[in-house]
Amino acid sequence: MKDFNIDTKCVQGGYRPGNGEPREIPIVQSTTFKYDTGEDMGKLFDLEASGYFYTRLQNPTNDYVAAKICEMEGGSAAMLTSSGQAASFYSIFNIASCGDHIVSSSSIYGGTYNLFAVTMKRMGIDFTFVSPDCSDDELNSAFRPETKAVFGETIANPALTVLDIERFAAAAHSHGVPLIIDNTFATPVNCRPFEWGADIVTHSTTKYMDGHGAAVGGCIVDSGKFDWTAYPDKFPGLCYPDESYHGVTYTERFGLGGAYITKATAQLMRDFGSIQSPQNAFLLNLGLESLHVRMRRHCENGAAVAEYLSNNDKIAWVTYPGLPGDKYYSLAKKYMPNGTCGVVSFGVKGGRAAAQKFMQNLKIAAIETHVADARSCCLHPASTTHRQMSDEELALAGISSDLVRFSCGLESSEDLIADMEQALNNL
């Protein structure tokens, strides 16, 4: 599938049935797998043979779908997780532990910010948050000897800032650590961060990938390009023997292409068990089969709504990276020449109260915490998803108190705009 276009990978990547096998990915609805001898199974436990033994660690349905996303991103290995949160946590915890430090963009999803700044901090991992627009000096001075990775979002949810992936990758690499990119909003249809120097990609597959609001899920993809063995003391978990697996050294046994994902599966899935259910992986694959078609429409609707709002005098401001004149327009053109996403952020004149009245007046878009599915929806982050943040933290994350996040679904853009018009006229 390597040489095919992204559209073909969306439809047919990952699963290649043999003669007489099911055309559609089978749902392997089994917690466990049968073996003839104890030795056969022992080899699996020692990672000497590959195969399935317990769905808390691995399941064939998940692996077919992970292989598809891996091909779409152009990676070397991938795994599904039960949620995007689990993917973000694993992506870092796989290479960092108590006493370590991570540099993260401050403009990230609220749930990720909480995971990093509160929960992982409690585990002894420290984070320094930098603006995606910080100078090279600020970025470089955020690193410490114990820094293990840099983290950012291609298009941040909900601030819609665009990360300069090449610049952040260069800074990460010059300090001997990988760049991890949450590519949820752009999807590999619109941006493939590995082509710009990123080393690991994460997804909340709950959003566009699933696309129908049917299943919560996540994914981690490794590019296989980061050379852990150049810094063995920095990444001992990958470069030195794992005593919980009879002394296997992941980089030696599985190479640069397989070490990171094998370790995350063998250790983190074994111990935390945040695996996606095979049923959900099946539903995710149905979403992936139309992702390339749907992303085009989401982007068309996003662009039409952003343009309408930017010409409306009841609207204070509009942020949409695909809108000419947007602060991130040129970065968006560079990293996402075919379109960005369907999410538009804006302020309704009159602030917090006007924003809430506007949302109640809408007839098509529902008020939901969700984004990025077939049905349009909207949210006021300052009073919901980000309510635990102070005004100062909100500002650092690029969120003002009047911000409405509007996720354009797959409906007619004419209808969406007419609905917004009546909602604004009835304020």
Ligand X SMILES: *Cc1c(COP(=O)(O)O)cnc(C)c1O
- Site residues for ligand X, 202-231, by CB under 6 A, read 204, 206-207, 216, 218
Are residues 83 and 217 in contact, defined by beta-carbon separation less than 8 angstroms? Answer: yes
The yes or no reply on residue 105 touching ligand X (CB under 6 A) is: no
Contacts of 406 (CB under 8 A, 6+ apart): 305, 343, 344, 345, 346, 365, 376, 377, 378
Are residues 343 and 184 in contact, defined by beta-carbon separation less than 8 angstroms? Answer: no
Strand order in the sheet with 179-182: 77-81, 218-222, 200-204, 179-182, 147-153, 101-105, 126-130
Q: Which amino acid is at 281?
A: A
Name the minimum Å distance from CB 44 to ligand X.
Answer: 29
Binding region for ligand X (CB under 6 A) out of 29-37, 199-207, 225-233, 413-421: 199-207
Best CA proximity match to 153, nearest among 290, 296, 343, 323: 343
The yes or no reply on residue 109 touching ligand X (CB under 6 A) is: yes
Name the minimum Å distance from CB 323 to ligand X.
Answer: 20
Pick 388 or 426: Cβ nearer ligand X: 388
Q: Calculate the alpha carbon distances from 255 to 52, 178, 251 in Å.
A: 21, 16, 5
- Site residues for ligand X, 74-93, by CB under 6 A, read 83-85, 88
Name the minimum Å distance from CB 397 to ligand X.
Answer: 12
Name the minimum Å distance from CB 69 to ligand X.
Answer: 14
Cα atoms in the 13 Å half-sphere on the side-chain side of 205:
34
Q: Cα–chain-centroid distance for residue 5?
A: 21
Q: Cα separation of 69 and 84, whole Å?
A: 14
Are residues 300 and 127 in contact, defined by beta-carbon separation less than 8 angstroms? Answer: no
Name the minimum Å distance from CB 165 to ligand X.
Answer: 15
- Site residues for ligand X, 153-172, by CB under 6 A, read 153, 157
The yes or no reply on residue 111 touching ligand X (CB under 6 A) is: yes
- What residues are paired with 321 via a beta bridge? none
The yes or no reply on residue 272 touching ligand X (CB under 6 A) is: no
Pick 76 or 202: Cβ nearer ligand X: 202
Considering only 94, 112, 274, 413, the residue that binds ligand X (CB under 6 A) is 112
From the CB of residue 422, how many other CB atoms can be counted at a distance below 10 Å? 11
- How many residues contact ligand X, by CB under 6 A? 17
Pick 208 or 260: Cβ nearer ligand X: 208
Binding region for ligand X (CB under 6 A) out of 52-60, 106-114, 248-256, 323-331: 106-114
Binding region for ligand X (CB under 6 A) out of 7-15, 121-129, 166-174, 200-208: 200-208
Residue nearest to ligand X (CB): 84
Residues forming contacts to ligand X in the complex (CB under 6 A) are 83-85, 88, 109, 111-112, 153, 157, 182, 184-185, 204, 206-207, 216, 218
